Amino acid sequence: MLRKELIKAVKHLELVARRAVNDQLAGQYQSVFKGRGMDFTDVREYQPGDDIRVIDWNVSARTGDMHIKQFVEERELTVLLLVDASASQTFGTVNRSKQETSAELAALIAFSAIKNNDRVGLFIFTDEMETFLPPKKGRKHVLRVITEILDFKPKSRGTDLAAALEYMSRITRKRALVFAISDFQDENFEMSLNIANRRHEVIPVLVEDPMEFELPDMGLAPFQDPETGEVFMADTSSKKVRENFRIAALRRHNKLLHTFRKNKIDHIAIRTDKSHIEPLVKYFRTRAKRH
């Protein structure tokens, strides 16, 4: 992406994300991911209706006017974005690719985090760990995170979720909130996911495209596996071919959801052809009620 286009894309994404956070997500995020206690910040004059249990009697005696203590929640959460940049992420047939959707999701989560004074870190992986930005606070850091995702050029095309989760767990000592943003088109990662979730809190964010479930009738058409480069022909005019494709896709999808349920891991499902804000809000609300 050209520098001028990149800057424009980052600014646009920041504007969209901050608006969504301010309007819909910030309160939901804070109500779900609470901090570890309360920190004293200041005192102010007593007003009718204030809790008398937080009256600061020393300041009140010294000034001659009633004062109360003010507190803010001590949060200090570490939020990690584990973003899949494998070749399958470039796929998209409706509004945007899975890669673009992942960038928008990462921006929404990152701006929700820094609005609540949390630290944000970034891991970008394929079948190897390709980029790591240590957790930091502030808008400048989040803009760097977004820029890194939008302008990222992977060295590899494959996916290795197990290795990514193991690497993240190995270098992250403090318990963290991990949003794993991926299409999860991989095998043999369940054990690594389970182990990582014991040490941290891992929230899979499953990004999918509608054509991964329903093939349109396009006649005889070539298809390419983006990660292996393998090309094969399929007769999409055949109802049997389309039905077999749909059944195989649903089996793969249901197997993945079963993995999440078996390990008692909540996930967020996102589609490239639908709003990605609503599923986040729904997830936060459902989780807040449950807790």
pLDDT score of 18: 86
For the chain, how big is the Rg over CA atoms in Å? 23
Domain shared by 149 and 183, yes or no: yes
- List CB contacts of 261: < 8 A, sequence separation 6 or more: none
Domain shared by 185 and 90, yes or no: yes
* pTM of the predicted protein model: 0.82
Domain shared by 53 and 192, yes or no: no
pLDDT tens-digit series, residues 154-164: 999 999 999 99
Domain shared by 218 and 199, yes or no: yes
Based on the number of CB atoms within 10 Å of its own CB, is 89 exposed (0-12), middle (13-18) or buried (19 or more)?
buried
Domain shared by 63 and 159, yes or no: no
Residues of the chain with pLDDT under 50: 36-37
Domain shared by 26 and 88, yes or no: yes
Structure tokens belonging to residue 228: 């292996």
Tokens 């299409």 sit on residue: 183
Q: How many structural domains compose the chain?
A: 2
pLDDT tens-digit series, residues 233-286: 999 999 999 999 999 999 999 999 999 999 999 999 999 999 888 898 888 888
Domain shared by 14 and 57, yes or no: no
The answer to whether 267 and 14 have CB atoms below 8 angstroms apart is no
Domain shared by 115 and 199, yes or no: yes
Give the residue numbers spanning the domain of 223. Answer: 3-31+75-290
